[in-house]
Amino acid sequence: MPKIFHSNELNFASGPFNREPFGLLTALPYLCKQADSRHLVFDIRKLPPGEYSFPYHYHRSAEEAMYIICGSMTVRTKNGFQIVNTGDVLFFETGEQGAHQFLNHTSDACTYFDVKTFYELDIVVYPDSDKLMISKYNEVFNIRDQEEYFSGEADITNVWKNLQGGKSSKAPRESDF
């Protein structure tokens, strides 16, 4: 069923990831949740004067686009800084090339429509702080703790043996069950 959100009925508030100087306001409850969207995450956001949006980040599995409804802000990307204004459209691809962050350098709020693709899971990388977040669960990890794939797997023969109550760790025969 189509869902229409009237601008005069939106309530903007701090979301769960706000802490000074990250003062981004979002239409709450989240518009995409109200619409029961399965593959798009979308919201209308307001960035107050002097505030930053989220920490500098990029998405490994999501493309993101914004439309500036009113106001102006500075966009930080891998290529530097640029000012965007009312009517501008921004697109951020997946991966490092799509890294971004906003700062409202003006004395008026900047309001924008934010939409990104979502297919069950996204990994968000924060290059400034060496973190990553599994976005579906909002779990944040330090990248420096990254492990080699087989780390901790060297003793698998004994693991199986212990799980089988001390029996041989060779492949079980049907008679073993």
pLDDT greater at residue 152 or residue 23: 23
- Chain centre distance of CA 109: 23
In a domain, 135, yes or no: yes
In a domain, 154, yes or no: no
In a domain, 176, yes or no: no
CA 82 – CA 24 distance, rounded (Å): 19
- Phi, psi for 122 (deg, rounded to 5): -140, 145
Residues 6+ apart with CB under 8 A from 25: 12, 13, 14, 15, 45, 46, 47, 48
In a domain, 151, yes or no: no
pLDDT at 22 over 90: yes
Domain residue limits at 14: 7-146
Q: For residue 64, which of 133, 132, 122 has the smallest C-alpha distance? A: 122
pLDDT at 173 over 80: no
Q: What is the pLDDT of residue 170?
A: 60
In a domain, 170, yes or no: no
Residues 6+ apart with CB under 8 A from 105: 72, 73, 74, 83
Q: What is the CATH number of the domain that holds 84?
A: 2.60.120.10
In a domain, 158, yes or no: no
Residues 6+ apart with CB under 8 A from 118: 37, 38, 39, 40, 41, 62
pLDDT at 169 over 70: no
In a domain, 29, yes or no: yes
In a domain, 174, yes or no: no
Per DSSP, the residues of 66-90 read EEEEESEEEEEETTEEEEEETT-EE
| pLDDT tens, residue by residue, 56-112 | 999 999 999 999 999 999 999 999 999 999 999 999 999 999 999 999 999 999 999
Domain count, the chain: 1
pTM for this one? 0.84
